[in-house]
Amino acid sequence: MSHDIWPVAVVGAGPIGLTVANLLVRYGVDVLLIERNPTTVQEPRGVSIDDEALRTMQSIGAVTTILNSVVLGYGSDYFTPGGTCFLSVHPTTREYGYPRRSAFRQPVLERQLAEHFISASRTNRSESWFETELREFRQTGETVELVVRHADGTEKTVSTRYLIGCDGGRSFVREKLGIRMSGSTFRERWLILDLEDTHDETRDTKVFCNPARPCISLPGPSKTRRFEFMLHDGETEAEVTAPAFVQALLRKHGEENTPLRRSRVYTFHARMADRWRDGRIFLAGDAAHLTPPFAGQGMNSGVRDAHNLAWKVAAVLQGRLGPSVLDTYEQERRSHAWRMITLAIRMGKVMMPRHRWSAFALAAAFRALGIVPRARSYFGEMKYKPKPRLGDGFFQRDKNQDLPGRLFPQPTVEAPEGETLLDEVLGDGFALLAPPHTPPAIFDQLPEGVWRNLKPRLVAVRPSGDAAAVPDGVIRVMDQRGEFTRLLPDLPVGLVLIRPDRYTAALLRRDHLQADFRELDALITKTGAPLRV
Q: How confident is the model at residue 79 (pLDDT cuts 50, 70, 90)?
A: confident
- The pLDDT score that the predictor gives to residue 233 is 86
pLDDT number for residue 375: 41
Element (H, E) at 11: strand 5-11
pLDDT at position 29 over 90: yes
For residue 383, pLDDT over 60 is answered with no
| Band (201; pLDDT cuts 50, 70, 90) | confident
3-state secondary structure of 508: strand
CATH number at residue 162: 3.50.50.60
- Helix boundaries (H) for 252-320: 298-317
In this predicted model, what pLDDT tens digit does every residue of 401-431 receive, in sequence order?
A: 889 999 999 999 999 889 999 999 999 999 9
Which pLDDT value is given to residue 277?
97
Which has the higher per-residue pLDDT, 86 or 478?
A: 478
Quick one: 292 and 418 in the same domain? no
Residue 72 has pLDDT above 70, yes or no: yes
Q: State residue 351's pLDDT score.
A: 61
Averaged confidence pLDDT in the chain: 89
256 belongs to a structural domain: no
| Residue 264 falls inside a structural domain | no
In a domain, 169, yes or no: yes
φ/ψ region of 366 (left if φ > 0, alpha if ψ in -120 to 50, else beta) reads alpha
Q: Which of 80-94, 210-224, 347-361, 494-508 has the highest mean pLDDT?
A: 494-508
Is it the case that residue 319 has pLDDT exceeding 50?
Answer: yes
Regarding whether 296 and 443 lie in a shared domain, the answer is no
CATH number at residue 502: 3.40.30.10
| Residue 44 sits in the same domain as residue 142 | yes
Which residues have C-beta within 8 Å of that of residue 115, sequence separation ≥ 6? none
**Model pLDDT, residue 2:** 63
Q: Map residue 175 onto helix, strand or coil.
A: helix
For residue 352, the model assigns a pLDDT of: 60
Question: Which of the listed residues 317, 343, 369 is the one where a domain comes to its end?
Answer: 343
Q: How confident is the model at residue 155 (pLDDT cuts 50, 70, 90)?
A: very high
In DSSP notation, 339-405 reads HHHHHHHHHHHHH--SSHHHHHHHHHHHHHHTTSHHHHHHHHTTTTSPP-B--SSSS--BTTBS-TT
Which has more confidence, 203 or 412? 412
What distance lies between CA 480 and its chain's CA centroid?
29
pLDDT of residue 527: 95
Q: Is 69 in contact with 105 (CB distance < 8 Å)? A: yes
The residue with greater pLDDT, 59 or 186, is: 59
Q: What is the pLDDT of residue 83?
A: 83
The answer to the question of residue 419 being in a domain is yes
Q: What is the mean pLDDT of residues 126-150?
A: 96
In order of 15, 63, 300, 414, 497, the CA distances from 289 in angstroms are: 15, 25, 12, 40, 30
Contact 8, 26 (CB under 8 A): no
Residue 387, burial from CB neighbour count under 10 angstroms (0-12, 13-18, 19+)? exposed
Position 311 in a domain: yes
Top pLDDT among 360 and 490 is at: 490
Distance CA 226, CA 59 (A): 29
* Same domain as 165, residue 294: yes
The whole-angstrom separation of Cα 273 and Cα 329 is: 14
How confident is the model over 273-285, as pLDDT tens digits? Answer: 999 999 999 999 9
Q: What is the pLDDT of residue 168?
A: 94
Q: Are residues 38 and 162 in the same domain?
A: yes
- The mean per-residue pLDDT over the stretch 381-386 comes to 55
Confidence of residue 376 (pLDDT cuts 50, 70, 90): very low
Are 185 and 192 a contacting pair, CB within 8 Å? no
Q: What band does 239 get if pLDDT is binned at 50, 70 and 90?
A: very high
Q: Is the pLDDT of residue 374 over 70?
A: no
Last residue of a domain, one of 290, 310, 343: 343
Does 427 lie in the same domain as 299?
Answer: no
Is 220 inside a domain boundary? no
Do 445 and 314 sit in the same domain of this protein?
no
Domain assignment present for residue 198? The answer is: no
Domain check: are 331 and 462 in the same one? no
Partners of 155 in the β-ladder: 149
Please check whether residues 451 and 332 belong to one and the same domain. no
Range of weakest confidence among 136-150, 258-272, 364-378, 499-513: 364-378
Domain boundary among 315, 343, 371: 343
Domain of 67 in residue numbering reads as 5-72+103-181+270-343
Q: What percent of the chain has pLDDT over 90?
A: 64
| CA distances for 190 relative to 39, 215, 235, 246, 284, angstroms | 27, 9, 11, 13, 25
Q: Categorize the per-residue pLDDT at 106 as very low, low, confident or very high, splitting at 50, 70 and 90.
A: very high
CA angle at residue 346 from 344 to 347, to 5 degrees?
Answer: 65
As a whole number of angstroms, the distance between CA 239 and CA 250 comes to: 15
Q: Which secondary structure element, helix H or strand E, spans residue 525, and what is its range?
A: helix 513-525
Check residue 379 and give its pLDDT: 41
Same-domain pairing of 419 and 337: no
Task: Flag whether 369 is in a domain.
Answer: no
Mean pLDDT of 325-331: 97
Examine the domain organization and report whether 323 and 440 are in the same domain.
no
- Phi then psi dihedrals of residue 294, to 5 deg: -65, -25
Quick one: average pLDDT of 81-102? 85
State the total domains in the chain: 2
- Supply angle C-alpha 209, 211, 214, rounded to 5: 50
Mean pLDDT of 298-309: 95
63 confidence band (pLDDT: 50, 70, 90): very high
Does residue 52 have a pLDDT over 60?
yes
